[in-house]
């Protein structure tokens, strides 16, 4: 009964979404206030219906209702409750429902919190959200119905893929989807603006918080996915330039560009057409990301069983959304009035640099990701584009970006005295030089790129906080004075410094783990000791244990440091999940904060007592997670800025005057 | 600075980055495209040593042998032809006899044995790597009733 209720609610949601799209769009076109007013309530009704539907599916999982095919295929009565719930989105049908729910949440949020939007813009934004909803809900109902029944019901389920029974991956999809779907709001605003034929500073102010929120979630989603790959796959790596990773990274890169170009629209009324295009492309890449993963178009080490028959529907929807929005863009963009002028050396110029580099990097990743697909469809054979391709194209584009990021936030709008800006960055430059040279010296002829990148990370980190110090006159004015200045500084300035600083920390992590990782693979006999990167690992043996829904072979290693002092006992496991008949590897990770120790066991020797053991020394990896968290924190702090919370002024004329003395936020 | 000049500057910058990107992509493509070859193709046409490729097929039943240390020797078959493969390291969890596998590497100096640098099996029991499906289809050994439909 309850699953039928969920199914019915979803069908009703489709009808409501249709009304939510058609009526307000027509109303906005004809200037009919009553029709436009339909938008808000219908978005809320849409949200309520989808919530009921999602709750119904969750309920079926919680009580292990094995009359529902989806529950049979992805759950088991013996599974821990947390994974019963997260199992709801651990499969194709359920994850589509989650997508729809998040889309409805964003649509409802625009309806509830968009009180200060002009009625026609609000009506159009909500209508576009409804249109996206129609696409996804109909896709789910017609090709991937999660509420399908089975008769006779089996006694028990087939269990969720054990790799997904993990806290990191349990919350990875919701975070990632919050990011992807969050960009739908920016997309809806862009389409609405094209329909209205008007983009101004106020528009940019409304778009920014949504983009920022989406960016924070996407950052978190990517970091969680990377963290999961790091500890669960047992390969000791955290990023593989795998298609599935790339498709989540591309919207992040373009979303970052969008975040920055929207600032220019807001402050300077320039780059408007470009910002609209970015909003469209960012969401298009998000759609591409969702669908590439779901359609099995690209083969990937992370690919789970997927159904190619849905591909056609997906392709049509992509063509409709991307093609339609770009056509609209081509028709309407020329009508947007170009805005303020600026010199090449200015804050705007810096942000244009940021946008160019990010867009170019996205393009190279897109080529690398889609090339195998294109070549194959042209009959050119099956190829794989490996990580070296991405390292060779992506890294050279990011190095100048990080360099510009150091001084970008200090440049003035319109035109900048570059000598003055660089003069303030003497400390950062000195620190960068010292770090770079020290790295070069310590690694003793290692990769030059590592020293350069680490120097740049130091440059960025110090520069991010030099900016804050300069604005609060730290050490130049009395401390009390600095304190009051610090409190008066807009939060978005702290957000910028944190996000940039966080990236610097994360870069240090990327460099360290790539350049100085130590790997040791060997067969170890019980009692044997092996030295890796200054730590000694003693293999104590393997025990057989029984988990809640798995069997485990747990090894134990005693780790001591160079002086023989006890560090930790590490217990990597090999598990067998009997229901799914699937083995998994559980890595043991002990963090030393500046580095991780990482151990995995393989198979037992056929003759003898030895086990294949893989031990990694992973320098600076914890910095990656720390850096991602700091970046997210930066986004959140910036989101709490007063300017974004209180109603934005209706007129574009109330811009903050530009100038080095009263530097506006960012 | 007039509007026209600004536009020119932006256009030049755009072209510059586009050019850089193209140059980067082209140079990187040159060495980093890994082509897929099936065991049958290797058996028929051979494979020059040191050419880095990706092979795929099923792990032949009864072919897996542990050598000294953590070296493993097995045969990858598309059910028409098979080639011997050695690998030094820990095999993925889902590596099993009779199951699909993808290996990346090159033919060793002896011209016979494929030395794998990477061995991949997938996260999911029911999932057949596209390359494996392709190899089986190409060798005419694809039997739809024995498993999932081919992914493409």
Domain boundary assignment for chain B? 1-32, 35-144
From A382's Cα to the closest Cα of chain B, the distance in A is 5
Longest dimension (CA), chain B: 76
pLDDT at A304: 42
Interface of A with B in 539-568 (CB under 8 A): none
Residues A543-565: tens digit of each pLDDT: 999 988 889 999 999 999 989 89
Please check whether residue A348 is in contact with residue B6, taking contact to mean a CB–CB distance below 8 angstroms. Answer: no
Question: At A666, is the pLDDT very low, low, confident or very high (cuts 50, 70, 90)?
Answer: very low
Answer yes or no: do A382 and B130 touch at CB < 8 A. yes
The answer, yes or no, to whether residue A40 has pLDDT greater than 90, is: yes
Chain A residue whose CA is closest to B12: A356
pLDDT at B88: 86
The residue ranking higher by pLDDT, B5 or B21, is: B21
Question: Smallest Cα–Cα separation from A141: which of A43, A18, A48, A6?
Answer: A6
Answer yes or no: do A301 and B120 touch at CB < 8 A. yes
From B64's Cα to the closest Cα of chain A, the distance in A is 11
Residues A46-63: tens digit of each pLDDT: 999 999 999 999 999 999
Give residue for tokens 């409190």: A487
Residues of chain A contacting B24 with CB distance shorter than 8 Å = 364, 392-393, 396-397
From B91's Cα to the closest Cα of chain A, the distance in A is 7
Please check whether residue A402 is in contact with residue A353, taking contact to mean a CB–CB distance below 8 angstroms. Answer: no
- Return d(Cα A537, Cα A587) in angstroms, integer: 15
Answer yes or no: do B13 and A353 touch at CB < 8 A. yes
Answer yes or no: do A341 and B1 touch at CB < 8 A. yes
Please tell me which of A73-82, A492-501, B131-140 the model is most confident about, judged by mean pLDDT. A492-501
pLDDT at A661: 39
Question: Smallest Cα–Cα separation from A593: which of A573, A569, A567, A614?
Answer: A567
Please check whether residue A432 is in contact with residue A422, taking contact to mean a CB–CB distance below 8 angstroms. Answer: no
Predicted ipTM? 0.77
- Average pLDDT taken over every residue of chain A: 87
Judged by DSSP in three states, A167 sits in helix
- Return d(Cα A60, Cα A359) in angstroms, integer: 44
Q: How many residues does chain A have?
A: 666
- Return d(Cα A70, Cα A84) in angstroms, integer: 12
From B124's Cα to the closest Cα of chain A, the distance in A is 6
What is the four-CA torsion angle of A178, A181, A184, A185, rounded to 10 degrees?
-30
Residues of chain B contacting A356 with CB distance shorter than 8 Å = 13-14, 17
Residues 6+ apart with CB under 8 A from A247: A285, A288, A289, A292, A293, A369
Residues of chain A contacting B21 with CB distance shorter than 8 Å = 360, 363-364, 393, 397
Answer yes or no: do A338 and B3 touch at CB < 8 A. yes
Answer yes or no: do B36 and A614 touch at CB < 8 A. no
Q: Ramachandran region of residue A242, left (φ > 0), alpha (ψ -120 to 50) or beta?
A: beta
Answer yes or no: do A384 and B6 touch at CB < 8 A. no
Residues A400-437: tens digit of each pLDDT: 999 999 998 888 888 888 888 888 888 899 999 999 99
Please check whether residue A101 is in contact with residue A52, taking contact to mean a CB–CB distance below 8 angstroms. Answer: no
Phi, psi of B138 (to 5 degrees): -65, -35
Q: In what order do the strands lie in the sheet with A518-524?
A: A518-524, A611-619, A595-604, A588-591
Mean pLDDT is lowest, of A121-135, A585-599, B100-114, for B100-114
Question: Smallest Cα–Cα separation from A399: which of A544, A290, A507?
Answer: A507
Chain pair A-B, CB pairs under 8 angstroms: 132
Q: What is the mean pLDDT of residues A377-385?
A: 78
- CA A296 to mean position of chain CA atoms: 20
Judged by DSSP in three states, A614 sits in strand
Q: Which two tokens stand for residue A23?
A: 């009526």
Label the pairing between strands B53-59 and B33-37.
parallel
pLDDT at B80: 84
DSSP string of A476-532, one letter each residue:
TS-HHHHHHHHHHS-HHHHHHHHHHHHHHHHHHHHHHHHHS-EEEEEEE-TT-EEEE
From B111's Cα to the closest Cα of chain A, the distance in A is 23
The answer, yes or no, to whether residue A616 has pLDDT greater than 70, is: yes
Residues of chain B contacting A342 with CB distance shorter than 8 Å = 1, 6
Residues A146-188: tens digit of each pLDDT: 998 888 888 888 777 777 778 877 888 899 999 999 999 999 9
pTM surpassing 0.95? no
Chain B residue whose CA is closest to A388: B32
The residue ranking higher by pLDDT, A338 or B20, is: B20
Residues 6+ apart with CB under 8 A from A368: A241, A246, A385, A389, A390, A393, B25, B28
Question: Smallest Cα–Cα separation from A274: which of A333, A207, A349?
Answer: A333
The answer, yes or no, to whether residue A515 has pLDDT greater than 80, is: yes
Please check whether residue A625 is in contact with residue A220, taking contact to mean a CB–CB distance below 8 angstroms. Answer: no
Residues 6+ apart with CB under 8 A from B127: A303, A304, A305, A306, B148
The residue ranking higher by pLDDT, A643 or A156, is: A156
Interface of B with A in 32-91 (CB under 8 A): 32-36, 54, 66, 69-70, 88-91
pLDDT at B152: 32
pLDDT at B134: 66
Identify which of A360, A368, A606 has the shortest CB distance to residue B17: A360
Q: How far is CA A350 from CA A126, A268, A424, B69, in A?
A: 34, 13, 17, 55
Q: What is the mean pLDDT of residues A245-254?
A: 94
Please check whether residue A57 is in contact with residue A75, taking contact to mean a CB–CB distance below 8 angstroms. Answer: no
Label the pairing between strands B82-88 and B114-120.
parallel
Domain residue spans of chain A = 1-165, 199-305+331-406, 425-515, 518-619
Please tell me which of A106-115, A598-607, B65-74 the model is most confident about, judged by mean pLDDT. A106-115
Residues of chain A contacting B29 with CB distance shorter than 8 Å = 371, 385, 389
Q: What is the mean pLDDT of residues A355-368?
A: 92
Interface probe for A, chosen from B18, B24, B67, B69 (most Cβ of A below 10 Å), is: B24
The residue ranking higher by pLDDT, A629 or A244, is: A629
* CATH superfamily ID and name for B35-144: Nucleic acid-binding proteins (2.40.50.140)
Identify which of B14, B36, B123 has the shortest CB distance to residue A161: B123
pLDDT at B151: 36
Answer yes or no: do B91 and A389 touch at CB < 8 A. no
The answer, yes or no, to whether residue A109 has pLDDT greater than 70, is: yes
- Return d(Cα B76, Cα B84) in angstroms, integer: 6
Q: Tell me if the bond preceding A152 is cis, omega within 30° of 0.
A: yes
Residues of chain A contacting B27 with CB distance shorter than 8 Å = 392
Question: At B39, is the pLDDT very low, low, confident or very high (cuts 50, 70, 90)?
Answer: confident
Residues A72-90: tens digit of each pLDDT: 888 888 888 888 898 898 8
Percent of chain A with pLDDT over 90: 49
pLDDT at A589: 93
pLDDT at A327: 94
H or E segment and range at residue A166: none
- Return d(Cα A468, Cα A463) in angstroms, integer: 9
Interface of A with B in 609-628 (CB under 8 A): 612, 614
């Amino acid at each position: 009964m309850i699953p039928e209720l969920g199914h019915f609610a979803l069908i009703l949601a489709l009808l409501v979404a249709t009304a939510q799209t058609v009526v307000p769009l027509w109303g906005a076109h004809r200037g009919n206030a009553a029709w436009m007013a339909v938008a808000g309530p219908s978005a809320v009704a849409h949200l309520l219906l989808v919530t009921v539907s999602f709750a119904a599916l969750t309920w079926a999982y919680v009580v292990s209702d094995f009359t529902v095919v989806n529950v049979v295929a992805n759950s088991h009565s013996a599974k821990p409750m947390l994974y019963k719930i997260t199992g709801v989105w651990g499969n194709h049908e359920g994850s589509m429902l989650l997508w729809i729910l998040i889309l409805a949440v964003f649509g409802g949020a625009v309806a509830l919190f968009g009180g200060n939007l002009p009625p026609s813009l609000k009506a159009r934004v909500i209508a576009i959200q409804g249109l996206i909803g129609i696409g996804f809900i109909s896709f789910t109902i017609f090709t991937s119905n999660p509420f399908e029944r089975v008769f006779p019901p089996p006694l028990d389920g087939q269990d969720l893929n054990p790799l997904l029974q993990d806290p990191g991956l349990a919350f990875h999809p919701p975070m990632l989807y919050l990011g992807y779907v969050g960009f739908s709001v920016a997309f809806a605003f862009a389409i609405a603006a094209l329909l209205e034929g008007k983009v101004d500073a106020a528009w940019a102010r409304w778009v920014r918080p949504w983009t920022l929120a989406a960016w924070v979630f996407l950052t978190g989603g990517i970091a969680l996915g990377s963290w999961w790959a790091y500890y669960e796959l047992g390969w000791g790596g955290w990023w593989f330039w795998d298609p599935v990773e790339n498709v989540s990274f591309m919207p992040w890169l373009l979303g970052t560009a969008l975040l920055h170009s929207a600032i220019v629209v807001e402050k300077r009324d320039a780059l408007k057409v470009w910002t609209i295009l970015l909003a469209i492309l960012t969401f298009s890449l998000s759609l591409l990301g969702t669908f590439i993963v779901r359609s099995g178009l690209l083969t990937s080490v992370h690919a789970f069983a997927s159904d190619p028959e849905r591909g056609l529907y997906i392709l049509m929807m992509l063509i409709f959304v991307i093609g339609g929005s770009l056509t609209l863009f081509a028709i309407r963009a020329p009508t947007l009035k170009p805005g303020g002028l600026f010199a090449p050396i200015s804050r705007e110029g810096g942000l244009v640099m940021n946008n160019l580099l990010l867009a170019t990097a996205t393009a190279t990743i897109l080529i690398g990701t889609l090339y195998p697909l294109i070549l194959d469809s042209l009959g050119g054979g099956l190829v794989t584009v490996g990580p070296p391709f991405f390292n060779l194209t992506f890294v050279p584009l990011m190095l100048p970006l990080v360099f510009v990021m150091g001084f970008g936030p200090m440049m003035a709008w319109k035109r900048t005295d570059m000598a003055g800006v660089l003069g303030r960055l003497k400390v950062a430059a000195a620190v960068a030089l010292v770090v770079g040279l020290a790295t070069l010296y310590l690694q003793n002829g290692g990769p030059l790129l590592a020293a350069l990148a680490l120097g740049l990370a130091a440059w960025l980190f110090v520069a991010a906080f030099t900016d804050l110090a300069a604005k609060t006159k730290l050490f130049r004015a009395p401390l009390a004075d600095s304190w009051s200045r610090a409190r008066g500084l807009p939060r978005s300035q702290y957000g910028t410094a944190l996000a940039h600083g966080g990236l610097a920390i994360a870069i240090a992590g990327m460099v360290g783990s790539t350049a100085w990782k130590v790997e040791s693979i060997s067969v170890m006999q019980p009692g044997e000791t092996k030295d890796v990167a200054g730590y000694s690992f003693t293999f104590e043996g393997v025990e057989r244990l029984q988990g809640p829904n798995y069997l485990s072979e747990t090894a134990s290693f005693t780790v001591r440091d160079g002086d023989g002092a006890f560090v930790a006992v590490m217990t990597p496991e090999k598990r067998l999940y009997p229901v799914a008949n699937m083995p998994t590897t559980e890595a043991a990770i002990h963090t030393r904060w500046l580095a991780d120790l990482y151990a995995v066991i393989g198979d037992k020797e056929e003759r003898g007592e030895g086990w294949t053991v893989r031990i990694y020394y992973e320098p600076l990896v914890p910095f990656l997670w720390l850096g991602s968290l700091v970046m997210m924190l930066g986004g959140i702090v910036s989101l709490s800025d007063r300017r974004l919370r209180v109603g934005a002024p209706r007129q574009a004329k109330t811009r903050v005057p530009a100038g080095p003395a009263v530097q506006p936020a960012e | 600075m007039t509007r026209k000049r600004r536009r020119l500057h932006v256009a030049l910058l755009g072209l510059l980055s586009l050019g850089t990107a193209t140059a980067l992509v082209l140079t990187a493509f040159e060495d980093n495209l890994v082509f897929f070859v099936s065991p049958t193709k290797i058996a028929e046409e051979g494979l020059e040593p040191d050419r880095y490729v990706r092979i795929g097929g099923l792990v032949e039943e009864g072919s897996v042998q542990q050598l000294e240390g953590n070296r493993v020797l097995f045969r990858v078959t598309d059910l028409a032809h098979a080639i011997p493969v050695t690998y030094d390291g820990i095999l993925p969890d889902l590596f099993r006899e009779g199951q699909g596998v993808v290996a990346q590497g090159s033919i060793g100096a002896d011209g016979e044995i494929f030395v794998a640098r990477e061995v991949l099996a997938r996260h999911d029991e029911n999932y057949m790597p596209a390359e494996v499906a392709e190899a089986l289809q190409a060798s005419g050994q694809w039997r739809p009733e024995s498993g999932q439909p081919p992914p493409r």
